[in-house]
Chains A and B, each alone.
Chain A
Amino acid sequence: MSEILDTVITYLKSMHLSYEIKPIKGEINRIKVPYRVPEQNLQFDVVIDVSGNFVRFWTLLMLHNKIRSKKKREKLYLELLQANGHLAEIKYFITKRGDVGIVGHEGIKVLTIDGFRDEFRAIPYGIVYFTTVIAKKTKISLTLPSTDELSFYT
């Protein structure tokens, strides 16, 4: 295991979070952290990939086939891009096939426990923001699909 992976695990332990290491193909070390937001009745995994020069935090909000209408998709994408401007550390994105997610990156050279904690917490914050603000504006609810079978690059 790389030194940076050890550091990430140390940070997760200090945050009292349980985790599961998921070896995947290539150079990526992947950790899945189950997370709950009881107030919103939300349960999902924060996925942490340690690869190259960055630690990447991400999860998926919905699969590409959730929205079939072009007009609704355009409205959702605009809301996500506007939210990207308003919210620090939160970056909504889509995969190549159009799955919607949240991602954050932290450079391994500048990785600290404070920066790690900020990036990690941005994922649940982004999910709650989606539920409480974007879903209401767009009338599109999130489904929080399992990340088990999905690659970030799908």
Chain B
Amino acid sequence: MMTSTMEKIEGYLKEMNLTYRVIPAEDRIILPYSIKDRRFFLVVDRGDKWIRFFVTIVEKDALKNVDKLKLYSALLGANGELAEVKYYITDEGSVGVIGHEGITTLSFEGFQEEYNALPFAVSYFIENIASMLDIEVAGFGES
């Protein structure tokens, strides 16, 4: 059953005129993003206290030959310089960007900030980090 928080998020998405898919059993909404002719997916998950927004940018397999210390330094350095952008490494070793909004403090403006920050972070990764470290960012299917 759809929760009121998810209905609120759906309301924001409709207001922003965005295409999305709801997975009610997982309290999850998925939105396709097209960034630099590549397709990515923004996932919005509802937790107990937080709404989690995340995008997987590049999977572990694409990082096999990458100098890990240089990659981690670049991600942590960007985390300091860019407000609202938080790069992370998944437990499986993929690179992603993530944001959280409190359920009780969720507002349309806060949601828009997260929605806009994540594609910016993907573009920043492609232009500044992947290019420097020779990482191929293929995206996830046709845009």
A residues in contact (CB < 8 Å) with B? 53-54, 56, 70, 73-74, 77-78, 80-82, 84-85, 88-89, 91-96, 98, 100-101, 103, 105, 107, 109-110, 112, 114-115, 118, 152
Further contacts, 9 of them, CB under 8 A, given A88-B52, A152-B80: A53-B83, A77-B72, A80-B76, A84-B88, A85-B96, A94-B73, A96-B77, A110-B107, A114-B105
B residues contacting A by CB (< 8 A) are 49-50, 52, 54, 68-69, 72-73, 75-77, 79-80, 83-84, 86-91, 96, 98, 100, 102, 104-105, 107, 109-110, 113
B49 contacts which chain A residues (CB < 8 A)? Answer: 88
Known A77-B73, A94-B76, A112-B105: A107·B84 in contact at CB below 8 Å: yes
Most B Cβ at <10 Å: residue of A84, A92, A98: A84
Name the one of B52, B83, B88, B105 contacting A54, with C-beta atoms under 8 angstroms.
B83
Residue of B nearest to A95 (CB): B80
Bound complex: CA of A120 vs CA of B113, how far in Å? Answer: 19
A81-B75, A85-B98, A88-B52 are contacts. A110–B80 as well, Cβ < 8 Å?
no
Query: B69 to nearest A CB, angstroms?
Result: 5
Contact (Cβ within 8 A) A91 B68? no
Q: How near does chain B come to A30, taking the closest CB pair, in angstroms?
A: 16
CB-CB < 8 A to A93: which residues of B? 76-77, 79-80
B69–A77 CB distance below 8 A:
yes
Closest residue of chain B to A88 (Cβ to Cβ) is B100
Question: Given that A82-B89, A85-B89 are contacting pairs, would A91 and B79 also be in contact in the complex, using a CB cutoff of 8 Å?
Answer: yes
| Chain A residues with CB below 8 A from B77, complex form | 93-96
A74→B72 contact, CB < 8 A? yes
Residue of B nearest to A99 (CB): B80
Does B79 lie within 8 Å of A103, measured CB to CB? yes
Residues of A within 8 A of B54 (CB): 85
Chain A residues lying within 8 Å of B86, measured Cβ to Cβ, are 84, 91
Do B80 and A105 touch across chains, with their CB atoms under 8 A apart? no
Q: Given A77-B76, A96-B77, A98-B73, does the pair A56, B83 have CB atoms closer than 8 Å? A: yes
B98: A residues at CB distance < 8 A: 84-85
A-B pairs, 9 with minimum CB distance:
A93-B80, A85-B88, A77-B72, A88-B100, A84-B88, A105-B83, A93-B79, A81-B89, A94-B76
**Smallest CB separation, B34 vs chain A (Å):** 24
Is B80 a contact of A101 with CB atoms below 8 Å? Answer: yes
